[in-house]
Chains A and B, each alone.
Chain A
Amino acid sequence: MTNINRRDFLKLIGAGSVGTGAGVLYGEVTKQTVELLIPQVIPPEDYSPGIATWYNTTCGQCSAGCGISVRTREGRAKKIEGNPVHPVNQGRLCSMGQAGLNALYNPDRIRRPLKRNAPGGSFTPISWDEALTTLGRRLGNLKIQGKGNQVTLLSDGVRGHLDKLFATFMQELGSDNYLQYDFAFPNALYKANKILFDIDTLPYYDIKNTNYVLSFGADYLGTWLSPVHYSLAYGHLRQGRGKRRGKCVQIEPRMSLTGANADEWIPAKPGTEGLLAMAIANVIISDDHYRGSDIDDWASAVGSYSPSAVSGQTDITESEIKRIANDFIRHRPALAIAGDNIASGTNAVSNILAINALNYLAGNLNKEGGVIFNKKPSLVQSTQQRHASYIDMMGLRDAMSTGQVDTLIVHNTNPVFNLPNSSRFKEALTKVPYKVSLSSFMDETTDLVDLVLPLNTYLESWGDDIPEPGVGFTTATVLQPVVTPIYDTRSSGDIILTLAHQIGGELPVALPWTNMEDYLKAGWKEIYSGQIANSAFNSFDQFWRKALESGVWGENKTCVPDRKNKTKQVQLNNITIAPEFSGDEKDFPFTLLPYISQTFFDGKGANLPWLQELPDPMTSIVYNSWIELNPATAKKLGIKEGDLINVQSKEGSLQAPAFIFPAIRPDVIAIPIGQGHTQYGRYAKNRGVNPINILESIVDDASNALAWSSTRVKISKTGKHIDLVKTSGVTRTLGRQIFDKPGKHS
């Protein structure tokens, strides 16, 4: 090329101009979008932008009553951690507690009050004024007509001042019908402790200092009573005491998380654990390890339960029983505890009595490392007596279906999901003329009511709590809102107090406060002047500030047990220790073991996405339900993992994929409780199955609790297959150096 003609020159200039234009345009398009710098109109007093503010309050995810610290930034909750000064969880927190943020910021929360247009019709949003006026007028009329007793309040297990408020409200309304219902409430344990030790509150099980934990089904690391506290104790038992490493033995038909961590896992025949305990007691007495004055009574009570007599029924060899008994004695202080599936059969109370007796015979009562009795909570009453047993719930069902309940107020509990179909509770519920639900979520029960009053979550509410089981000394925690309510919702206390003023009459006299914060403060002022004044505080305000700041108030004492020996007479003479099951063994060859899921608890956690995505600790399955089968059973029936199985009980059937679970008895199948919601938001709805549905309505006569481990089933293949979603692939180490130092494996 030597020269350029005019035509080419213009071409080049043209190309250059096009390029330039494109360049300018490109620069314009790729500019950062304009971001705005929005100042506050009025600066908030409680935080500075850019740094975190922590609030101490109480966890509301289960009944253990752990203290939590919530990290907030710019008025939004970011993270929940344990409150380090709280005696129950000491700064630690379980997965459910941490997922509380998913409840607060759940996209499926009910955002405003709802009213049902016509029976069976849809919901329409209404204002709080309209909602509370409607309800207030109805309750007021009933009260004036002297029909206050036709109002029933069914709540979850609330404690402290909210419980007191509910009780006062119902009393002033002229109603005795205030019940609490939680599926996981250990009715049988309370009953057995009452019979044997004459105590109303749960004792403190000192796992931390014990040498030997003999647990009959109690999944104390997973779901039983206060798992965070027991996990702390477990860590200490294993490695916190130098050379004195405690031993854990777990007796249960299906390996729970605790079973996986125990040194020995012993699958006794379901329901016969009490028998096993009797045999152990028999060995203790016959080997002359117990020398109390009432030895003759005990000897006659357990005389017929020799290891050889029990061995066949429990499916545990005689020598094994003797070994366990001797270990239990040799390792004193030891601890025998019972819970979960073992405490939910037809012989629940008998089982626990027998197991508790072991603690007495081995001398583990009121001893460090044994069972330590809690003093009655002196600050705020914890009212276990309001907890409805299954029989109480059936009483409510009958009252509802015979028209004795005009208005039913359901607070934060979900009986339609947590009661079996055979209870016919749902059908009775629909017969109630006016049903109200106080709830944050559209659960199965709330879906059936006529008026929905959306609640604040516990992170937006005022309240107080005392942990149950207690920690050996008096302690109470305060709940305070950590964020302003994000929707048009109100707290339960505020709603009840507003209703009281709405109804008028004596109610505003008995409950003159207009909001929960004032009510709570007034209550605590009374406690302060009665019990706390003259202590380290100058005034109530100073005390209250301190209580809110630390989130917990307690006598700053280490465990001081109530030394009185509380065992009454030998209570083992007339107990029915043999289990009963629904359905006979021939037609229904498998025992169905529904178990409380560690991720969803009794179903309450199923709407929290973090928990749906948390692999189940034992199986690593997410987002579904499954049926656990022993490999031998599966092989015999030709079932592979993921095969859809039909489970048939006398009361109904369900279908779920099979999971071959190595650690379950061949005559038992297990299904986790928690999934199978038909409502309850996008993360829970239409996912998995609810094993409670197919349970038969049989109860433990001593405690009136539902015997939810006593249903027999038969299973069959459907021919369909569902891939289970789980994280673990290879479940064996295959000789890889994973748990050992190099060179040790081969």
Chain B
Amino acid sequence: MAKITDKIKEYTRPGYYEKFDYHWTMSIDLDRCTGCGACVVACQAENNLPIVGEKRFKERREMKWLRIERYWEGEYPNLKLKFLPMLCQQCDQAPCETPCPVAATYHNQDGLNTQIYNRCIGTRTCAVYCPYEVRYFNWFTYTWDEPLEQQLNPDVTVREKGVMEKCTFCVQRIRMAKDKAKDDNRRRVKDGEVTPACVQSCASEAMQFGDLNDPNSKVSKMTKNKRAYHVLEELNTKPSVVYLQKVEKHD
């Protein structure tokens, strides 16, 4: 027992992940984000997200690892609509990891909050614990109308009924980038070599992705911006997704 508590103490220590090679981080500049939804489709295409149909959507069983939340402020005619792309925050102190009875979700050395599908038994506890509500449960085994299945990405598992799933920061792309780095006899992946599907598609360049351990990476610079904050920061989940506040002051 003592051993487990020691371990927890160790990895909740601030800066624990800095000793590893990477700390994958995403920054989302809300001043650039237009809320257009290109990232949502990019994610669906890349990660084999099912087409659930109107009925399932109505039952709130949509499977969108990345969604855009909208919040209104003010009253007509002085209204504002703010957009917030919400995806798995890959928390360093993830509330979803501790309750899993089979350790199907855990934090790896790259700072990723991983979800191992074949290990998951579908208790859905993690989804209850997640304050960002970004975990999605497969209530059914979804199928694709022939020949739409020809589009499925062979680098990503097609999930089955009874499995929890969520944003992986496109771990398959990280894997490919590492593979390429090894081919080129490089120790590390260069900044900009990994771009998750959503970041790649973003037309206003609101999203950046990279390694926080590299002080010169684009994303490191973004996190040092004065506008940088975490959503629901007071929960102390230490997310790996950094948001940059929308600028509201103008002359």
Which of B30, B84, B200 has most chain A Cβ within 10 Å? B200
CB atoms of B41 and A238 under 8 A apart: no
Of the candidates B30, B37, B80, B148, the one whose C-beta lies within 8 Å of that of A615 is: B37
For the complex, give the distance between the alpha carbons of A102 and B51 in Å: 11
B72, B148, B197: the one within 8 Å of A102 (CB):
B148
Chain A residues lying within 8 Å of B184, measured Cβ to Cβ, are none
Residues of B within 8 A of A73 (CB): 154
Give the docked Cα–Cα distance between A107 and B150 (Å): 11
* B36, A617: Cβ atoms closer than 8 Å: yes
Contacting residues, chain A, for B67 (C-beta < 8 A):
615, 727
Question: Which B residues are CB-close (under 8 A) to A91?
Answer: 200
**Does A485 reach chain B (CB closer than 8 Å)?**
no
Contacts of B246 in A (CB 8 A): 739
Q: Are B232 and A738 touching (Cβ within 8 A)? A: yes
Known A255-B81, A613-B62: A93·B233 in contact at CB below 8 Å: no
Given A95-B37, A739-B82, verify A613-B205 contact (CB < 8 Å).
no
How far apart are the CA atoms of A98 and B43 in the complex, in Å? 10
- Tier of interface size on chain A: 35 or more
Please choose the segment from A78-86, A291-299, A706-714 that sits at the chain B interface, where 4 or more of its residues have CB less than 8 A away: A78-86
Contacts of A620 in B (CB 8 A): 68, 70
Report the nearest B residue to A247, measured CB to CB: B250
- Residue pairs across A and B with CB atoms within 8 Å: the count is 210
Query: What's the tally of chain B residues with a CB closer than 8 Å to chain A?
Result: 65
Which B residue's beta carbon lies closest to that of A89? B203
Interface residues of B in 35-50 (CB under 8 A from A): 35-38, 40-42, 44-46
Q: Is the CB of A232 within 8 A of B203?
A: yes
Task: Judge whether A81 and B145 touch: CB under 8 Å.
Answer: no
A725-B58 in contact given A231-B203, A630-B76 (Cβ < 8 Å): yes
> Do the beta carbons of A105 and B148 come within 8 Å of each other?
yes
Within 8 A of A (CB), among B66-101: 67-73, 75-77, 79-84
* B36/A222 in contact, CB under 8 A: yes
Judged by a CB distance under 8 angstroms, whether A99 is at the interface is yes
Binds B, one of A152-160, A256-264, A282-290, A565-573: A256-264
Please classify the interface of chain A as helix (H, G, I), strand (E, B), loop, or mixed, using the class held by over half of its residues.
Answer: loop
Q: Is B29 in the interface zone, CB < 8 Å from A?
A: yes
User: Do A599 and B37 touch (CB < 8 A)?
Assistant: yes
**B245 located at the interface, meaning its Cβ lies under 8 Å from any Cβ of chain A in the complex:** yes
CB of B106 closer than 8 Å to a CB of A: no
Q: List B9-42 residues whose CB lies under 8 Å from chain A.
A: 29-32, 34-38, 40-42
Q: Is B206 an interface residue (CB 8 A)?
A: yes
A739 to B30, CA, bound (A): 9
Q: Which residues of B contact A741 (CB under 8 A)?
A: 229, 233, 245
With A81-B201, A486-B147 as given contacts, are A614 and B29 in contact (CB-CB < 8 Å)? no
**A209-255 residues at the B interface, CB under 8 angstroms:** 221-222, 227-228, 231-232, 234-236, 238-240, 245, 247, 255
| A80-B45 in contact given A737-B234, A741-B233 (Cβ < 8 Å) | yes
Cβ B231 vs Cβ A78 within 8 A: no
- Nearest CB of A to B228, in Å: 9
- The answer to whether B42 touches A260 (Cβ under 8 A) is no
Query: B8 to chain A: closest CB distance in Å?
Result: 24
Chain A CB within 10 Å — which of B41, B51, B145, B153 has the most? B41
Q: Determine if B54 is an interface residue (Cβ-Cβ < 8 Å).
A: yes
Q: Which chain A residues have a beta carbon within 8 Å of chain B's beta carbons?
A: 73-74, 76-82, 89, 91-95, 98-99, 101-102, 104-107, 221-222, 227-228, 231-232, 234-236, 238-240, 245, 247, 255, 257-258, 260-261, 263, 265-267, 486, 598-599, 609-611, 613-615, 617-618, 620, 622-624, 630-632, 662-663, 666, 682, 723, 725, 727-728, 731-733, 736-742
25 contacts across the A-B interface (CB closer than 8 A):
A76-B150, A76-B151, A79-B45, A79-B197, A94-B203, A95-B40, A98-B201, A107-B148, A221-B36, A227-B203, A235-B204, A245-B31, A255-B81, A258-B34, A260-B81, A609-B148, A610-B44, A613-B44, A613-B52, A617-B36, A663-B72, A663-B76, A682-B145, A723-B58, A742-B234
Leading 5 A-B pairs by shortest Cβ distance: A235-B204, A231-B203, A260-B81, A95-B41, A107-B145
Binding site for A on B (CB under 8 A): 29-32, 34-38, 40-42, 44-46, 51-52, 54, 57-58, 62, 64, 67-73, 75-77, 79-84, 145-154, 197, 200-206, 229, 231-234, 245-247, 250
